[in-house]
Amino acid sequence: MTRTRAEDKDIFLSVEIDKDTPEYLNGDELRIKQILTNLLTNAVKYTEMGKITFGINYEKESEDPDSVILNVWVADTGIGIKEEDLGKLFDEFERVDIKKNKNIEGTGLGLSITKRLLEMMGSELKVESKYGSGSKFYFSLKQKVVDWKPIGNYEETYKSLIEERHEYKEKFTAPLANILVVDDNPMNLKVFTGFIKRTKIKIDTAKDGFEGINLSKERKYDIIYMDHMMPGKDGIEALHDIRQDGQNRNADTPIICLTANAISGARDAYIKEGFNDYITKPIDPEKLEHTLLQYLPDNKIIVGAWSDEDSETEKDSEADLAIIEKLKGSELIDSKIGLENSGSAKSYIELMKIFRDAIDKNSEDIEACYLREDYKEYTIKVHALKSSAKLIGAMELAEKAQKLENAGKSNDHIYILSHENEFIEYYMRFSALLKEVLKQEEKNDKPLADADLMNEAYAEIKEAAEAMDLSRLESAFEEMKDYRVPDDQTEFFEKLKDAADRLDYEEIVKLFN
């Protein structure tokens, strides 16, 4: 990740890892990666020319023969830090020397988080710097040794991975790639972004065709994924607008249709309209990965570099599994299907929350379309509900919605009139079920977040939303899971969390203003 960013600025990245360092250690892998990423990203930001050195060596721990002291450093030839600024480097969430750094993005929060994480591990972040010549951040960290087998020559290992790139394409990252996903269903957006999170691809989302077109005019994307049936301007209409606009930066960008229409001949029909390909919903992660590898530029794909970081955070916890266990025997939801569609228990629970919170509004919208006999909009609404129901494993509800959708498409208004009330009554049964299943007990054993921590969290959430950085946004909320939010801020924090679950970056920024 850092190498590609450094190369974009013509900065040389030197990796100096002692080949005798034990390869397998026991520690907090997720936090250590976060620390290293923060330090390396910071070095790239503040270096305009020269090089960055990332080094690791070790010392044997005399008092604990099963452990080592890892010595880690990141040095750069960047702008450096004034002596009078060193003392306040980790204090507030402001960059030092603002005048000189005015063109550099970020708040400097990464160093504050890094310092805190190291202190929690019993270490300390140290810095040496000479203004105008560069900086060196370093720390030492005790780690248990699992296997004394040496790590070997890192550069040779790295080169062999690059050489195997075209032979091994099951796991990859593409941190320089940009894609746009247009879908009016927040649950579909949540699943989509969850599936590609480990690829490090930058992803923008749009809630309808109009918003998708506007984003396509502002930024060049490598791929656009476009839902077919959306209110207002559907996916085909949006596709045509983009293709026919000679000034649009994505007129020639691969555009892939997202659809629940899996009937024979669908692919030919979508390609005839101008799509490059299509994926059926619920989305199959393997098929999604296939389209990414097929349509992303080769020079943006790094094969064999899929990080385990996200899989660590996605492990099914006992608490999450206990919640899903409550669905056993339910005639409304097949949790096995829901888990398969979601990828993890954690993601499945998030989808069920979104589904539950949307029941009242969706039922009102569907009934409003029915009462005013707007069957075109009615068909779109039940189509969206069908997709959401399939995602959580509510297969009978999805089937009922499918029949109403078919009736709407064929103008069979008599079928709609005779089945609408029964459908809504059945749909509303999910409200009580999910409220019971997802009922959370207050965990009073968690420490109360103090004012400094809340301000830090708010700053990170706001900046992540402004940058439309999903990974960073999720990390900010993940950090807060171990704390209780003060009572006077609970409602505001829940509004932020709700907007984040819906990937509504604009709403998050509005809440802060």
Read off the CATH number of the domain in which 425 is found: 1.20.120.160
Please say if the pLDDT value at position 503 is more than 60. yes
| Entry pTM | 0.50
- Tens digits of per-residue pLDDT, 285-322? 778 888 898 899 888 888 765 544 444 444 566 777 88
* Domain assignment of residue 69, given as a range: 2-163
**One domain, residues 389 and 286:** no
User: By the 8 A CB rule, do 22 and 149 touch?
Assistant: yes
Q: Count how many domains the chain has.
A: 4
And the tokens for 400?
């009922």
pLDDT score for 444: 42
**199 and 121 in one domain?**
no
Same domain flag for 199 and 146: no
Q: If pLDDT is split at 50, 70 and 90, which confidence band does 368 have?
A: very high
Are 22 and 154 in the same domain? yes
| 136 and 180 housed in the same domain | no
Q: CA 71 to CA 113: how far, in whole Å?
A: 19
Task: Say whether both 228 and 271 belong to one domain.
Answer: yes
Is 311 within the bounds of a domain?
A: no
CA separation for the pair 407, 416 (Å, rounded): 7
Same domain (yes/no): 217, 264? yes
Q: Specify the DSSP element, H or E, that contains 483.
A: none
**pLDDT computed for residue 224 by the predictor:** 95
Which burial class, exposed, middle or buried, applies to 149 when counting CB atoms under 10 A from its CB (0-12, 13-18, 19+)? exposed
The answer to whether residue 313 is domain-embedded is no
Q: Going edge to edge, which strands form the sheet with 255-259? A: 202-206, 178-182, 223-227, 255-259, 277-280
Residue 154 has pLDDT above 50, yes or no: yes
Q: State whether 405 and 458 are in the same domain.
A: no
In terms of domains, do 151 and 271 share one?
A: no
Residue at 206 is within a domain: yes
Q: 69-73, 227-231, 322-326: which has the highest mean pLDDT? A: 69-73
The residue type found at 434 is L
Same domain for 194 and 268, yes or no, is yes
- Where a domain ends, among 163, 193, 210? 163
Whether residue 390 sits in one domain with residue 254: no
CATH number at residue 43: 3.30.565.10
Residue 18 shares a structural domain with residue 151 = yes
SS3 441: coil
* Pairing outcome for strands 223-227 and 277-280: unpaired
